[in-house]
Amino acid sequence: MKKILLIILSIIIITGCSLVPGGPSDAVKDFLSKYKNNDQVVIDELNNYLSGENLDEATIKEYREIYTRQYSNMSYKIKGERIDGDKATVTVEITVYDYYKTNKEAGEYFSSNSQEFIDSKGDIDLSKFLKYKINKLLDTTDKVSYTLDLNLNKNNNKWEIEPLTNEQLTKLHGTYEY
């Protein structure tokens, strides 16, 4: 799932933020609003990624729901902006569903209750665990806030967000290990 997030964010950064007039904060607002509004470019990249995974249609649909729910329920607040010539850093606080906590709890439950995930042959059925985890992610209500320092460069009078780090990506998607 980390690859999907990197691909989606890269496409958005390249196509969306380079077209934004105004200052660095405006570019960041546009970038984050594409997620919040489930912009078609975000959905297309999500669908492209999921269709390349070894998942059945029902699981793809559930993962799509997990991430579109995360995106649309994300909130953010610009906390600051520093400009130094053609470089800038925008500090933004985001609040997202705490999928890290949910994933961790699901893993702990699996470890303590592995007998619930046994198939008819007596083997562990990871698809049963995946279904369990997906249901827990869909039911997640706990939220967590993170601070991101997004770096931007000004090219041809337009502010462009630099590619996000893995840490920034995991924070944006609520999977950052704290």
| Model pLDDT, residue 18 | 46
Q: What is the pLDDT of residue 42?
A: 85
Lowest mean pLDDT among 16-25, 84-93, 94-103, 158-167: 16-25
Q: Enumerate residues 6+ apart whose C-beta is below 8 A from 102.
A: 133, 136, 137, 140, 142
pTM: 0.83
Domain ranges of the chain: 2-98+142-172
Q: CATH topology for 2-98+142-172?
A: Nuclear Transport Factor 2; Chain: A, (3.10.450)
Q: How far apart are CA 94 and CA 172, in angstroms?
A: 7
pLDDT tens sequence across 64-102? 999 999 999 999 999 999 999 999 999 999 999 999 999
